[in-house]
């Protein structure tokens, strides 16, 4: 008896499961399937993203549905269109050996009459977003008055998105004597409220630690100046040639902008946000699934619940406003037992947010340095060497060999290797050898190291905004800090202005002509044994910082354009992808690379 059989599943499902290559149930499946099959009960199941919740409710629901009746018996509510489609697809795979089962998904942004038509043909299971569901109930296009089972999938995300009222409305159109199964990654107050209000003595199961990020995800943060965010993103991508990632931005505009810049710079990137047409979104998602798009730049709403295997990195281009959202973002990687990395690009003023995320997800972040140009060049070279080694020889080349040999006559192997690498590499190297260190030090102690590159950044006119690593915690308010600066620098009171103290650091302004002098004064400057660090601030909107300064990262391409296709990755031999104690698929889906 297989482990799935032991859960009480029937043959048609077992056959489908074996086709899918699922070897053994995941924990949430092991815990919920026997309960849902064995008793009629409400259920609250808390489990991280990527733990197999769809099958945890999908298998029992399919088994319990009467396929000979065309009445709608099961309703699954899920937050987004993408998730609806994903769930519907999965359910169809699970039920492939069950004749007569109809699963229909309804969601906004597509023809409502077409969806109504599909429902009319008889759908035992309806998968819906709350908005469209409510709409269709209102128009009498769907009847859920006889359902036996209602699933609230990704309940926390639905509530996050403000669907509480819609859900309440929808549930009031369902019969009293039905069973509700609620699945969620986290358990915020709102979810508890729903459970209390609409469920009767639910069985509760928990997998792993609630509110904790998946343990297969490593969390990293990189401190950079606000204006170096994009340059930092590029370096993170370049330092991970096989990257397959979701890049999160806070707004639709930033999402579009970052994606466009990446594409312009020669990366395989795409944008996913709510301002795109449904058609455009489908195209992007399809290319991403096929790994033709290596970096999917997305807003939180658009990327909710996306289940694409093998995402190697989640990059937080900007931190989300809500900590909960961070959990959802990082859950896009490390799925199905694989490992993943969630990277956060932060400015110094955001380091505090990292600390609060740490305490929320009960996992520590590792502070990492943005790799410098030379490091990236090394990584790329090594990657290229491996790629050459792994490339299958195209036999067509044979007939051209004599002529090629003529051209290359007299060049020995070593020389040839150098030349081949130079063809691919010089452009890349030229770009990176001229770039500066992007890291902003947290403590300020290694300021000396990064200073060289910043010289050119000093604006020559206007006012300059500075960062200083002392603040209210050190007993300063804006007046006393101003006094301290005036005394230390021996300048006039009005030379220092806009002093703005924060908890552990502060900002102030001076006229540009003092900038050189101020930075000089605070080089290696110690007060009571502690380094006091002053740097030109990149905090936006604070008056003048960096205006007229040299553009830092305006260069396009980084050598990626044109004949540089070898830098477009292709995941080979990377250490990732092992199933660390999770469940796995038989034969393991092979990652196809990005050619
Ligand atoms: P969740 O809803 O918890 O985020 P999903 O249901 O989307 O997770 O499942 C994540 C991935 O794991 C999917 O690709 C799914 O096909 C796969 N999966 C689910 N159950 C198993 C299993 N028992 N063995 C192997 N893979 C599984
Ligand atoms: Mg899910």
> Which atom of ligand 1 lies at the shortest distance from residue 24's CA?
23
Sheet strand arrangement including 125-128 = 103-106, 125-128, 74-77, 149-152, 179-184, 43-46, 203-206
Task: Say if CB 153 and CB 124 are below 8 A apart.
Answer: no
What are the residue ranges spanned by the domains of the chain? 5-206, 217-372, 447-536
The pLDDT, as a whole number, for residue 31 is: 95
- Torsion over CA: 532, 535, 539, 545 (sign): positive
- For ligand 1, say whether the CB of 537 is within 6 Å of any of its atoms: no
Task: Output DSSP code: residue 399.
Answer: G
Listed residue (224, 251, 238) closest to 321, CA to CA: 251
What are the CA-CA distances from residue 562 to residues 176, 267, 377, 423, 558 (Å)? Answer: 64, 11, 18, 12, 11
Query: Closest residue (by CA) to atom 10 of ligand 1?
Result: 50
The pLDDT, as a whole number, for residue 152 is: 97
Residue of 336, 577, 588 to mutate, ligand 1, most atoms within 8 A of C-beta: 336
Query: Closest residue (by CA) to atom 5 of ligand 1?
Result: 52
Task: Say if CB 314 and CB 248 are below 8 A apart.
Answer: yes
- CA 310 – ligand 2 centroid, Å: 16
Are β-strands 149-152 and 125-128 bridged in parallel, bridged antiparallel, or unpaired?
Answer: unpaired
The pLDDT, as a whole number, for residue 197 is: 87
- CA 154 – ligand 2 centroid, Å: 6
The pLDDT, as a whole number, for residue 541 is: 38
Task: Say if CB 274 and CB 574 are below 8 A apart.
Answer: no
Please give the Cα distance from 360 to 345 (Å, whole number).
19
Please give the Cα distance from 104 to 123 (Å, whole number).
6
CA atoms within 13 A on the CB side of 499: 21
Residue of 16, 54, 92, 308 to mutate, ligand 1, most atoms within 8 A of C-beta: 54
- CA 50 – ligand 1 centroid, Å: 6
- For ligand 1, say whether the CB of 137 is within 6 Å of any of its atoms: no
Listed residue (268, 86, 77, 43) closest to 170, CA to CA: 77
CA 318 to chain centre: 11
CATH number of the domain located at residue range(s) 5-206 in this protein: 3.40.50.300
* Second CATH level (architecture) for the domain 447-536: 2-Layer Sandwich (3.30)
Query: Which tokens hold the place of 419?
Result: 């030349």
Are β-strands 245-248 and 313-316 bridged in parallel, bridged antiparallel, or unpaired?
Answer: parallel
CA atoms within 13 A on the CB side of 113: 0
The pLDDT, as a whole number, for residue 587 is: 33
Superfamily the domain 217-372 falls into: P-loop containing nucleotide triphosphate hydrolases (3.40.50.300)
> Which atom of ligand 1 lies at the shortest distance from residue 336's CA?
12
What are the CA-CA distances from residue 181 to residues 75, 155, 178, 209, 343 (Å)? Answer: 10, 10, 10, 20, 33
CA 468 to chain centre: 32
The pLDDT, as a whole number, for residue 216 is: 73
Which stretches within 439-587 are classed as H helix? 447-454, 478-489, 515-521
The pLDDT, as a whole number, for residue 323 is: 83
- CA 69 – ligand 1 centroid, Å: 29
Task: Say if CB 332 and CB 314 are below 8 A apart.
Answer: yes
Which stretches within 246-393 are classed as H helix? 252-264, 278-289, 300-303, 323-330, 351-361, 373-390
The pLDDT, as a whole number, for residue 586 is: 33
- For ligand 1, say whether the CB of 547 is within 6 Å of any of its atoms: no
- CA 49 – ligand 2 centroid, Å: 6
Work out the end-to-end distance of the chain between its first and last CA atoms, rounded to an integer number of angstroms. 43
- CA 45 – ligand 2 centroid, Å: 12
Residue of 13, 24, 49, 55 to mutate, ligand 1, most atoms within 8 A of C-beta: 55
Please give the Cα distance from 378 to 20 (Å, whole number).
40
**Residue burial 391-408, b: 16+ Cβ < 10 Å; e: rest:** eeeeeeeeeeeeeeeeee
> Which atom of ligand 1 lies at the shortest distance from residue 584's CA?
25
Query: Closest residue (by CA) to atom 20 of ligand 1?
Result: 52
- For ligand 1, say whether the CB of 337 is within 6 Å of any of its atoms: no
- CA 557 – ligand 2 centroid, Å: 38
Task: Say if CB 297 and CB 271 are below 8 A apart.
Answer: yes
Query: Closest residue (by CA) to atom 18 of ligand 1?
Result: 52
- For ligand 1, say whether the CB of 335 is within 6 Å of any of its atoms: yes
Global pTM reads 0.49
- For ligand 1, say whether the CB of 241 is within 6 Å of any of its atoms: no
Q: Would you write out the chain's pLDDT as a tens digit for each of its 595 residues?
A: 779 999 999 999 999 999 999 999 999 999 999 999 999 999 999 988 788 999 999 999 999 999 999 999 999 999 888 899 999 999 999 999 999 999 999 998 889 999 999 999 999 999 999 999 999 999 999 999 999 999 999 998 888 777 888 999 999 999 999 999 999 987 777 788 888 889 999 999 988 754 434 457 889 999 998 788 999 999 999 888 889 999 999 999 999 999 999 999 889 999 999 898 888 988 999 999 999 999 999 999 888 767 787 888 999 999 998 888 898 898 888 776 567 889 999 988 888 899 989 988 888 888 888 888 877 887 787 778 878 888 888 888 888 888 888 888 888 888 888 888 888 777 777 877 777 778 775 443 333 333 333 334 677 778 888 888 888 778 888 888 988 999 899 888 788 988 877 777 788 889 888 998 898 888 888 888 788 889 887 644 334 333 333 332 333 333 343 333 333 333 222 232 333 223 433 333 322 222 2
Please give the Cα distance from 50 to 542 (Å, whole number).
42
Give the phi and the psi of residue 203 in degrees, each rounded to 5. Answer: -70, 135
> Which atom of ligand 1 lies at the shortest distance from residue 4's CA?
23
The pLDDT, as a whole number, for residue 215 is: 53
**How many CB atoms are closer than 10 A to CB 292?**
14
* Three-class DSSP category at 423: helix
Please give the Cα distance from 362 to 210 (Å, whole number).
10
- For ligand 1, say whether the CB of 328 is within 6 Å of any of its atoms: no
Ligand nearest to the CA of 91: 1
Q: In CATH terms, are 5-206 and 447-536 the same topology?
A: no
């Amino acid at each position: 008896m297989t482990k799935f059989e032991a859960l009480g599943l029937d043959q048609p499902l077992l056959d489908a499961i074996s086709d899918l290559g699922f070897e053994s149930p995941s924990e949430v499946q092991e815990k919920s399937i026997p309960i849902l099959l064995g008793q009629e009960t409400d259920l609250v199941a808390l489990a991280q993203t990527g733990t197999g919740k769809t099958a945890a409710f999908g298998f029992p629901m399919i088994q319990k549905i009467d396929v000979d009746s065309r009445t709608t018996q099961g309703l699954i509510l899920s937050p987004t269109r993408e998730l609806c489609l994903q769930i519907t697809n999965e359910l169809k795979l699970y039920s492939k050996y069950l004749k007569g089962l109809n699963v229909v998904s309804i969601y906004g942004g597509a023809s409502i009459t077409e969806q109504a038509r599909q429902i009319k043909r008889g759908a035992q299971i309806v998968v819906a977003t709350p908005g469209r569901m409510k709409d269709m109930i209102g128009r009498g296009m769907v009847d859920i008055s006889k359902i036996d089972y209602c699933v609230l999938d990704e309940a926390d995300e639905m509530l996050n998105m403000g669907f509480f009222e819609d859900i309440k409305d929808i549930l009031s159109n369902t019969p009293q004597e039905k069973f509700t199964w609620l699945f969620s990654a986290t358990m915020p107050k709102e979810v508890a409220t729903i459970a209390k209000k609409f469920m009767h003595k639910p069985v509760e199961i928990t997998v792993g630690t609630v509110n904790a990020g998946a343990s297969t995800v490593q969390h990293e943060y990189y401190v950079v100046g606000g204006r170096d965010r994009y340059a930092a993103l590029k370096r993170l991508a370049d330092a991970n040639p096989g990257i397959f990632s979701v890049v999160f931005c806070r707004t639709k505009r930033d999402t579009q902008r970052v994606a466009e810049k990446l594409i312009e710079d020669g990366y395989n990137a795409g944008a996913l946000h709510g301002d795109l047409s449904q058609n455009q979104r489908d195209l992007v998602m399809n290319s991403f699934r096929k790994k033709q798009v290596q970096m999917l730049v997305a807003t939180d709403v658009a990327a909710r619940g996306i289940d694409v295997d093998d995402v190697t990195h989640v990059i937080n281009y900007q931190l989300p406003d809500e900590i909960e959202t961070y959990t959802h973002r990082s859950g896009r990687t490390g799925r199905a037992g694989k490992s993943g990395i969630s990277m956060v690009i932060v400015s110094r003023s955001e380091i505090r947010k990292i600390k609060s995320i740490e305490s929320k997800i009960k996992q520590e972040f590792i502070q990492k340095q943005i790799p410098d140009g030379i490091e990236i060049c090394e990584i790329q070279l090594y990657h290229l060497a491996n790629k050459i080694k792994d490339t299958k020889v195209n036999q067509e080349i044979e007939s051209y060999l004599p002529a090629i040999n003529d051209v290359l006559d007299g060049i020995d192997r070593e020389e040839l290797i150098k030349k081949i690498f130079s063809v691919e590499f010089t452009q890349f190297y030229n770009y990176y050898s001229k770039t500066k260190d992007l890291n902003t030090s947290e403590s300020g102690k290694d300021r000396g190291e990064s200073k060289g590159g910043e010289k050119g950044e000093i604006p020559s006119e206007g006012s300059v905004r500075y960062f200083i690593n002392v603040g209210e915690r050190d007993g300063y308010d804006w007046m006393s800090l101003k006094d301290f600066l005036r005394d230390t620098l021996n300048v006039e009171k009005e030379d220092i202005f806009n002093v703005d103290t924060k908890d552990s650091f502060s900002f102030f302004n001076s006229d540009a002509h003092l900038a050189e002098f101020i930075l000089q004064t605070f080089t290696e400057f110690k007060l009571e044994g502690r380094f006091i660090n002053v740097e030109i601030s990149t905090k936006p909107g604070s008056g003048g910082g960096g205006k007229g300064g040299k553009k830092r990262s305006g260069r396009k391409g980084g050598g990626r354009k044109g004949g540089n296709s070898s830098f477009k990755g292709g995941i080979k031999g990377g250490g990732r992808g092992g199933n660390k104690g999770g469940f796995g698929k038989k034969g393991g889906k092979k990652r196809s690379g990005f050619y």
